Structure 1
């Protein structure tokens, strides 16, 4: 277990995030991973290739991503430890790993939706939510914009924060690099379009698998946070998870979404439109569906408490290890 590295990365990201100037000057690790995936998509996923060839090429891409990220992570860990010792290496590797967590950026983007609704009305909310979801914003009313923001907050709490931290905790820098590469591949090619149905199959299936632990853990953190937030209900969160999570079309997204919905007395997910196509999905929770900016603010408070509880849990494990 790489508990000291996980705690270091978590604290650095919470304090500073990934500075925008670095994005402008050198980009972001996920952008570099995306460039490799896009290259493979252009060169290995030919329009004239058979379904079997495309699927095999996609498996090859996943294997390449795992090998490259493992090599980078292991080399960086060995080099930093050799040059700086254990404490110095933990700090430097923690800085590197912190770029692959998304506590601050997720908070910023979801808060922007609430602010957009409050100051710019429906159009302001639509512009802000278009930055974080793939559904058609022009089809969303105020309730739809609010639900989309809260659903994105819940799902990305799992796969943008809990999951990368889990794999950093379990596998060090190689673990978090591999996770983010697979997760990025899934977001780019792991969907059921004609072009990517075969080529993205391996990325989508592996992403489902590696997100299983974190999706369940994220529901636990949300339910625990609900005990500390006035007006939220921990028992309702757990009840919604038990009843609704397995009904979601995703094997993972339903867990944090159901927990968030139950905790706040809301209804999330349900039918929605992506790029002109209606996706029929089960509702998570049985509360109100007519949401607004104040509900987004409530969800953010719950999210922040869940992040704090997770950080305290890691800190306790660190202290137990040290003492």
Structure 2
């Protein structure tokens, strides 16, 4: 019966679209001009200037306006092409390509690694802000390498796996909504004096929507890292000690998989933080670990796609049985 085929068909349609989007990202990288995420960032910046007040209520309104607007626009676009399978596939593939950033993540990480390999520590410091928001000036070779590996781990979840999870759950609106939330967190979710209260809602929403992707990323890094027992042990022992509920499991899983020690002292925007060590007793990060982290990130990406397709197919089958009764 046709109704029984739809859940699997929907899962494979998502898998085809997301796979094409990931391939476009692998071959082309981020769109070079007119990037929709950059356009959203500019619009969100304008909204912040209009709505900013030093309180949580104003920040919640800002978050609702920005995320709600992005999701509504994506839902309207999705509805417009719903009558055409090819157009729907193209839209979902384009949305995936737009919101994921695995290729840019790996490229920037390897650029820092190349400078460190060449002994160009000042050049590596100059390149690090393209990858993360840490203050690089006081970082030596080892601390720069550690910053890169931690950024690769966290952004595997934030820039890739989380988007795939929400794409599987909610289609194009899920992809766009996840990237909107993640972008707002990067803009206003940090603990600066201006954003401590105003950015609270964006930061908490990012924690909520990022949780499924972070857990899947950590689980897949444990499985794909080549040392599952060690990696799982680090996650169980250390993940909860990280101040971020989502970065903790991800970074701990990468620390265990790579056999390195992450965490410790770092600086953001002039603030020094002393974070717990993940993987205590393991060796410090070396420059060669940057490439290992990038390769692990890629394995996790494609495993995440497979897991999301399987999850969507299973859920669709369950829903189909509930609507149509037992399958003969």
Measure the CA separation in 2 of the matches of 1:7 and 1:95: 13
Whether the aligned pair in 1 keeps the contact of 2:30 and 2:101 (CA below 8 Å) is no
Shift of the alpha carbon at 1:4? 3.8
The runs of at least 4 aligned residues of structure 1 exceeding 6 Å deviation read 318-322
Whether the aligned pair in 2 keeps the contact of 1:240 and 1:261 (CA below 8 Å) is yes
1:60-88 Cα distance to aligned partner (Å, 9 max, x none): 11111232122211111111123xx1243
Question: Which ranges in structure 2 are unaligned for 5 or more consecutive residues?
Answer: 1-6, 318-328
Measure the CA separation in 1 of the matches of 2:172 and 2:107: 25
Are the structure 2 counterparts of residues 103 and 8 from structure 1 closer, same or farther at C-alpha, using a change threshold of 3 Å?
A: farther
Identify the residue that residue 143 of structure 1 maps to in structure 2: 142
Residues 80-229 of structure 1 mapped to structure 2, 5 A cutoff: 80-82=81-83, 85-227=84-226
Are the structure 2 counterparts of residues 147 and 67 from structure 1 closer, same or farther at C-alpha, using a change threshold of 3 Å?
A: same
Whether the aligned pair in 1 keeps the contact of 2:242 and 2:276 (CA below 8 Å) is yes
Whether the aligned pair in 2 keeps the contact of 1:270 and 1:280 (CA below 8 Å) is yes
Q: RMSD across aligned C-alpha pairs, in angstroms?
A: 2.3
Question: Which ranges in structure 1 are unaligned for 5 or more consecutive residues?
Answer: 228-232
Residues 1-323 of structure 1 mapped to structure 2, 5 A cutoff: 3-17=11-25, 19=28, 22-24=31-33, 27-46=34-53, 51=54, 54-82=55-83, 85-227=84-226, 233-314=227-308
Q: Which moved more, 1:266-275 or 1:289-298?
A: 289-298
Would you say how many aligned residue pairs link Structure 1 and Structure 2? 307
Measure the CA separation in 2 of the matches of 1:290 and 1:91: 44
Secondary structure of 1:278 counterpart: strand
Are the structure 2 counterparts of residues 30 and 238 from structure 1 closer, same or farther at C-alpha, using a change threshold of 3 Å?
A: same
Measure the CA separation in 1 of the matches of 2:207 and 2:176: 16
Secondary structure of 2:260 counterpart: coil
Shift of the alpha carbon at 1:19? 4.5
1:15-64 Cα distance to aligned partner (Å, 9 max, x none): 2228479433xx21211221122112212115xxxx4xx32111111111
Secondary structure of 1:23 counterpart: coil
Question: Normalising by the residue count of structure 2, what TM-score does the alignment of the two structures yield?
Answer: 0.86
1:203-226 Cα distance to aligned partner (Å, 9 max, x none): 011111111111111101101111
Whether the aligned pair in 2 keeps the contact of 1:248 and 1:254 (CA below 8 Å) is yes
Measure the CA separation in 1 of the matches of 2:19 and 2:90: 11
Measure the CA separation in 1 of the matches of 2:72 and 2:110: 37
